[in-house]
Structure 1
Amino acid sequence: PVSSSLFGSRFLAGELGGSITHQCFYSPTPANKHGRKYWCKVAANGLCYTIVSSGSPAWGEHRGRVALGDAPQNGSFAVTMTGLRSSDAGTYRCGIGSTNGGLYVSLNLTVRAEATVARPTQLIRGERHGSVTVLCPSGDTHGDQKRFWCKVGRSSCALIASSNGYVDRRYQGRILITPQESSGAFRVLINDLKKEDSGLYLCGTQGPRGRDSEQEVVLQMATASALPRRPKFLSGTVGGSLSFQCPHDPEGTYEKKYVCRWRGGSCPVLLDDEGFVLGPYEGRMRMSGGAERGTYAVVLRRLREEDAGWYWCGARSGHTELTASLKLLIHKG
């Protein structure tokens, strides 16, 4: 059966006489790191015949054309096929195990006279309770196209968030798709990461003619995390005040630290460390050094009922942002 700890593209396209490289990403557990890696082709009888595996070179018509390289420290292995023939088209599996029926992911290879080369899959590593930034390139600079982020399943890509405000209920308060930059690129920010966030994703833009310039992304969650679990909810009373700690990397250098209000997939900035405070928060919200190393503190005074909701802390460094989310619950006095 397909396991959630092995990920890779589901479709590959190559040119006659050309080459393809396919990457398989796996959870870097000791068993996976030291296990046999294999690449097999599914035959008409349903059996998957080994083409190449770690420790044994390709044989038959694939001899000298197919190679497998394992990088256990990265949790990935790559299969390269050269001198592509039309007979190479078909269904393949990349997997781990002593047999070809254990841990694997299936993919379909098409071989054409001409094929466009897909972007290489982007590997992002995350830790439980932490955050990640995904950079999604785009060939389209027209702002009227919908930006999306979806998770690849067995037969479709389940939409998680899009720039029209849709956010899947499991991601409420913890995902943000940023506006497009002048290049057409945009970023997907996710925080409060969970073990089940591991997987293969697609991001890109979607216009009237369908999806455009898709990017495959593998999110690989660390098997162990040194990050502390932070409170998700904080309660306050109307007229009272509350404070919360925002995490950042004490070794990092940041251009900006900020607090924003998350609503329906957008997050307008309320406060930053350059002195900006949004009108309704003037005199009520401020930022200061944190009580512990690697944090900064945010204080919100004279609480109002409408202050209830999701807030994000952010620290920006280049294209990368370290973010954390928190939901405020406001009670009447």
Structure 2
Amino acid sequence: PVSSSLYGSRFAAAGLGSSITHQCFYSPTPANRHDRKYWCKVAPNGVCYTIISSSSYASSEYRGRVALGDSPQNGTFTVTMTGLRGSDAGTYRCGIGSTNEGLYVSLNLTVLPDATMSRPTQLIRGELHGSVTVLCPSGDTQGDKKRFWCKVGKSSCSLIATSDGYVGWRYQGRILITPQESSGAFRVLINDLKKEDSGLYLCGTRGLRGQDSTQEVVLQVGTASALPRRPKFLSGAVGGSLSLQCHHDPEGTYEKKYLCRWEPGSCLVLLDHEGFVLESYRGRIHMSSSDPERGTYTVVLRQLREEDEGWYWCGARSGHTELTAPLKLLIHKG
């Protein structure tokens, strides 16, 4: 049986005479890797007629201007159509299975008089309970537009987080949209990954006149994870102290290891391994130990206050990638 996770763009636009390259992403299970891959076009009668398949079939109408390439080890297959005609507009399916009615995702193709450029879909793989960093390129360098991250559904994109502090309830404590860099790019950090996080997403900037610049991202969360499920909640008493143990990959090299205080829309760094301590926390927070060989460091927070209750992130930065993990402190009166 094929696995039910198959993702791909829902809409594409290209110019007359130009070409499109469409990627379909699937879970690389043994069944999916070896099964037939196909690309078909839906006719007015509702039947999806095969244009090309991995079984060496190609429709005579499209021969010479369509190609299908499968990369089973990556869980992707790619369809390229060249010399686009007005009659190529319509609904297509990329799918897996012996018939064209099995597992598929639909694409609506618009053929325009002049070409529009679209960015290729990004594929991000994460591990269950782990974290991912998504880089969102943006055409906007003004930095005053709202940045967003949403999950593509059948008819709309459900908003998950925005740069002005909105975070959906399922993502409390586990998502952050970083400030824009000088290039206009920004990052989306997500941790405590769950199986249901797999899917197709959009990230981008939104001005007063709607979406300006978007990037499609397919997130695949592997179910077999080497990462243990770590406790997410710690409780302490007012006036007492707490030890927070943070973990990172012992094989990795990190420029910065830190602890930050998560709020919707920001994560304020409280201290890092190079000795920085936020002024308002001086005297009551310190990194008590660091064991790079075991991939751990420990932060001690003393003289606990009621307002210390909330979400914190352990973080380790390596280039553009941030390894993050959430912890929630619960503070009770002594």
**Structure-2-length-normalised TM-score:** 0.97
More moved, 190-199 vs 105-114: 105-114
Matched with 2:103 is 103
Amino acid across the alignment from 1:106:
S
Q: Distance in 1 between matches of 2:69 and 2:169?
A: 39
**Would you say the 8 A contact 2:176–2:266 is kept in 1?**
yes
Q: Distance in 2 between matches of 1:91 and 1:201?
A: 21
Match of 2:15 in 1: 15
User: What letter matches 1:167 in structure 2?
Assistant: V
1:165 matched to 2:169? The reply is no
Q: Give 1:284's aligned residue.
A: 284
Q: 1:235 to 1:290 in 2, by over 3 A?
A: farther
- Residue by residue over 1:172-229, the C-alpha shift from the partner in whole angstroms, topping out at 9 and shown as x without a partner, is 0000000011111100000000000001100010011111110001101113111111
- 1:267 — aligned with what? 267
Superimposed CA distance per residue, residues 135-190 of structure 1 (whole angstroms, 9 cap, x where no aligned partner): 00111111210000000001111000001100000000000000011111100000
Deviations 1:39-65 (A, max 9, x none): 011010111111111122312211111
Residue 332 of structure 1 corresponds to which residue in structure 2? 333
Residue 309 (str. 1) matches residue 310 (str. 2):
yes
2:174 matched residue in structure 1:
174
Whether the aligned pair in 2 keeps the contact of 1:202 and 1:214 (CA below 8 Å) is yes
**Paired residue secondary structure (1:7):** strand
**Paired residue for 2:86?**
86
Tell me what 2:217 maps to: 217
Alignment: residue pair count: 332
1:296 aligns with 2:297: yes
Partner of residue 68, structure 1: 68
Distance 1:295 1:9 in 2: 39
Cα distance change of structure 1 residues 31 and 223 upon mapping to structure 2, 3 Å threshold: farther
Distance (whole Å) between structure 1 residues aligned to residue 197 and residue 297 of structure 2: 27
Instruction: Quote the Cα distance in structure 2 between the aligned partners of 1:320 and 1:202.
Output: 19
Q: Which runs of 5+ in 1 are unaligned?
A: none
Give the structure 2 partner of residue 319 of structure 1. 320
Q: Is the 8 A contact 2:133 2:189 kept in 1?
A: yes
Task: Tell me the distance in 1 between the aligned counterparts of 2:265 and 2:314.
Answer: 15
Q: Which runs of 5 or more residues in structure 2 are unaligned?
A: none
Does the 8 Å CA contact 1:57/1:63 hold for their aligned counterparts? no
Distance 2:317 2:4 in 1: 31
| Contact 1:39–1:93, Cα closer than 8 Å, also in 2 | yes
Partner of 1:48: 48
Q: Which amino acid aligns with 1:76?
A: T
The answer to whether the Cα contact below 8 Å between 1:58 and 1:64 also exists between their aligned partners in 2 is: no
Alignment of 1:137-286 (within 5 A): 137-286=137-286
Deviation per CA, 1:272-326, whole angstroms, max 9, x where unpaired?
1111111232121111214981111111111111111000011111111000001
CA–CA separation in structure 2 for the residues paired with 1:164 and 1:213: 17
Check whether the contact 1:4–1:199 (CA below 8 A) recurs between aligned residues: no
Contact 2:250–2:293, Cα closer than 8 Å, also in 1:
no
C-alpha separation in 2, matches of 1:69 and 1:47 = 24
Say if 2:147 and 2:203, in contact at 8 Å, map to a contact too: yes
Deviation at 1:14, TM superposition (A): 1.7
SS state of the match for residue 32, structure 2?
Answer: helix
What is the TM-score of this pair, normalised by structure 1? 0.97
Aligned equivalents of 1:324 and 1:234: distance in 2? 14
